[in-house]
Structure 1
Amino acid sequence: MPTPVVLGALAVLLAGPLPWVLSRWSGLRRTPVAAMVLWQSTALAAVLAAFGAGLSLVTERLWEDPAGPGDVVVAALAGAVTVVVLGRLLLSGHRTGTSLRRARRVHRERVDLVARVDGGVSVLEHDVPVAYCVPGMSGSRIVVSRSTLTRLGPAELDAVLEHERSHLRARHDLVLEAFTVLHLAFPRWVASAAARREVEVLVEVLADRAACRTGDRRALVSALVTLAGSTAPIGSLGSAGSSLAARVEVLRDSRAHPWQAGSVSVLAAAILALPTLLVVLPWLSGLA
């Protein structure tokens, strides 16, 4: 089977069906670092396969000796499709990044107007318990409500604040933004929203793990239950976050899973290597 066809089919598989299958593997969350690498490898491999399909078709047609008019037309169409894919990625990245940064800037300005600062944390006079962070290159904010301070104990509050600090340190907002860009760039009949949803859960699990390394696991679970149902503004990351039940289940499992982590990491490397080899090897053989 020609390489462009294989790469095209691989791009579709990695953009839709495979993420759907992986999202059903709930046990993957027990090794969140390896799971995140797997999701990132899958997304990057989908992009490489999509570009590789067009570029390999161009070179395959133009390297034929002699290249006829039909080959030139096919190569031109393949090149145009590749440019469209690149354009959609760039446009999606621009729109998503601009929208998120504007929303965060506006929200930071509003928080600074109405909140009091206590120990580097912005405190809102609000009766609903909320806790979230607003990332930003020019200054991030950790925001809690007065109700959060009164309803959480010291250990619970420390765990929640460490959860938010972990989000900011690891720049989980950039991870989520990248998956949003990819989801919007691919056509709806190809793209799967499962990847974006699962990565949302994983960044919360990673932040939970970071909070547990310096605090009490049970205190964090208790705090999350108290904050359940609260929502965070667009562009921010909240402690109550995605799939609270799934996160609590992961928190209850304190065992290490080295075999799963290793296997998932190998799978991630294999998925990323596959489109790379399919693109590079035919070119190298053509040059030989």
Structure 2
Amino acid sequence: MSALAFATLALLLVGPVPALLARASWPLRAPRAAVVLWQSIAVAAVLSAFSAGIAIASKLFVPGPDGRPTTLLGEIDQLGWPLWALSIAVFGLTLLIGARLVVAGTQVFVSTRRRRSHHRTLVDILGVTHDRAAAQACTRARELRILDVAQPLAYCLPGVRSRVVVSEGALTSLADAEVTAILTHESAHLRARHDLVLEAFTAVYIAFPRFVRSRNALDAVRLLIELLADDAAVRAAGPTPLARALVACASARAPKGALAAGGPTTVIRVRRLAGRPNSVPLAAAAYLSAVAILVLPTIAVAVPWLHELQRLFSS
């Protein structure tokens, strides 16, 4: 594949493709497979962007017919001004994306953990552990912290020293089955480390320039990981208690870096609990699509290099 093809594929995978997938309704019935599909799209987009730069570098920096490095003027004469300028622009954009990806990943990693550590200290000071039976819904009871807040709320702070935080308002206003559902929801986030998935998508979103990136992937994955936690809560307590707990906590706001049970997606999630169950055929189709999307640019990059290595060792 040429550099232009790789660049076009990268632009499609960070713009139109996420926009189309974000408008689809089938991911609600196959959330785990949809997350994998989103991950493959993100990885393929980054890989395609880097592949465009590699393809351009292989054309711009190869030795000339006499074996000596080609000069800048020689490349312009060979490619022409328009194609040369386009190649340089795409190569520069690739380097920019690579640098921004490293910087964005580091910033997201450091700032998120600093914020969570600060908030964890606060809830450890202000909160208390609880010995009621509902606390057993947590993976480890010592993770649970109760805040003296009248508003029903529940969220978790992922990390090595994770915390599940609920309010007294949630414990007093919700039935035992509803408390179990909401605590299981938060514990599911911690066990699956959904925070790492969100951090990766946040870094990719920041890395790409504003004029090509789309927020669809980040918003869609944020909803999907809530659906995965909802499924775990349904298995523990049933759909009705979870739906009631979600509605009770819908207006609560969690701190940045936390994963909250309520939020702006509550209506979609409650409607899903009353709708059709997850679909195995949809999940299988999504997994196959994820493999195809990821394998295509990988093969396109690997095959030419393998061919060159074979030619080098056979000569």
TM-score of the alignment, normalized to the shorter chain, above 0.5: yes
Hey, what's the Cα distance between the residues in 2 that align with 1:261 and 1:136?
Answer: 29
Q: Contact (CA 8 Å) 1:201, 1:242: kept in 2 or not?
A: no
Instruction: Give the partner amino acid of 1:68.
Output: T
* 4+ long deviations beyond 4 Å: 71-81
* Distance of aligned partners of 1:194 and 1:80 in 2 relative to their CA distance in 1, 3 Å threshold: closer
The one of 97, 101, 111 aligned to 2:123: 111
Hey, what's the Cα distance between the residues in 2 that align with 1:214 and 1:81?
Answer: 48
Instruction: Give the partner amino acid of 1:69.
Output: T
Choose 249-258 or 223-232, whichever is displaced more: 249-258
* Distance of aligned partners of 1:11 and 1:77 in 2 relative to their CA distance in 1, 3 Å threshold: closer
The one of 147, 154, 157 aligned to 1:131: 154
Structure 2 residue aligned with 1:230: 252
> SS of 1:143's equivalent?
strand
Q: Contact (CA 8 Å) 2:29, 2:276: kept in 1 or not?
A: no
The aligned runs of 1:45-60 (5 Å cut-off) are 45-60=44-59
Hey, what's the Cα distance between the residues in 2 that align with 1:102 and 1:280?
Answer: 39
> SS of 1:116's equivalent?
coil
Q: Contact (CA 8 Å) 2:180, 2:236: kept in 1 or not?
A: no
- Report % sequence identity: 41
Structure 2 residue aligned with 1:202: 224
Hey, what's the Cα distance between the residues in 1 that align with 2:302 and 2:63?
Answer: 17
- Runs of 5+ consecutive residues of structure 2 not aligned to the other structure: 77-83, 132-140
- Cα deviations by residue, 1:239-283 (Å, 9 ceiling, x for unpaired): 114511111222223534121111111111111112112212233
Q: Contact (CA 8 Å) 2:178, 2:242: kept in 1 or not?
A: yes
> SS of 2:287's equivalent?
helix
- Cα deviations by residue, 1:38-65 (Å, 9 ceiling, x for unpaired): 0000000000001010012212344465
The one of 164, 169, 182 aligned to 2:191: 169
The aligned runs of 1:208-287 (5 Å cut-off) are 208-287=230-309
Backbone CA RMSD of aligned residues:
2.0
TM-score if structure 2 supplies the norm length? 0.85
> SS of 1:14's equivalent?
helix
Choose 260-269 or 59-68, whichever is displaced more: 59-68
- Runs of 5+ consecutive residues of structure 1 not aligned to the other structure: none
Hey, what's the Cα distance between the residues in 2 that align with 1:244 and 1:24?
Answer: 17
Q: Contact (CA 8 Å) 1:204, 1:242: kept in 2 or not?
A: no
- Cα deviations by residue, 1:18-45 (Å, 9 ceiling, x for unpaired): 1111100022221011100100000000
Structure 2 residue aligned with 1:68: 70
Larger radius of gyration: 2
Choose 256-265 or 89-98, whichever is displaced more: 256-265
Hey, what's the Cα distance between the residues in 2 that align with 1:83 and 1:59?
Answer: 15
Hey, what's the Cα distance between the residues in 1 that align with 2:275 and 2:181?
Answer: 17
Hey, what's the Cα distance between the residues in 2 that align with 1:285 and 1:63?
Answer: 17
Instruction: Give the partner amino acid of 2:6.
Output: L
Hey, what's the Cα distance between the residues in 2 that align with 1:163 and 1:103?
Answer: 22
Hey, what's the Cα distance between the residues in 2 that align with 1:175 and 1:259?
Answer: 24
The aligned runs of 1:88-107 (5 Å cut-off) are 88-107=100-119
Choose 100-109 or 272-281, whichever is displaced more: 272-281
Choose 220-229 or 62-71, whichever is displaced more: 62-71
Report the count of equivalent residues.
286
- Cα deviations by residue, 1:143-199 (Å, 9 ceiling, x for unpaired): 001100001000000000000000000000111111111111110111100111011
Hey, what's the Cα distance between the residues in 2 that align with 1:187 and 1:256?
Answer: 36
Instruction: Give the partner amino acid of 2:70.
Output: G
Alignment of 1:39 with 2:38, yes or no, is yes
Hey, what's the Cα distance between the residues in 2 that align with 1:123 and 1:218?
Answer: 24
Structure 2 residue aligned with 1:21: 20
Structure 1 residue aligned with 2:137: none
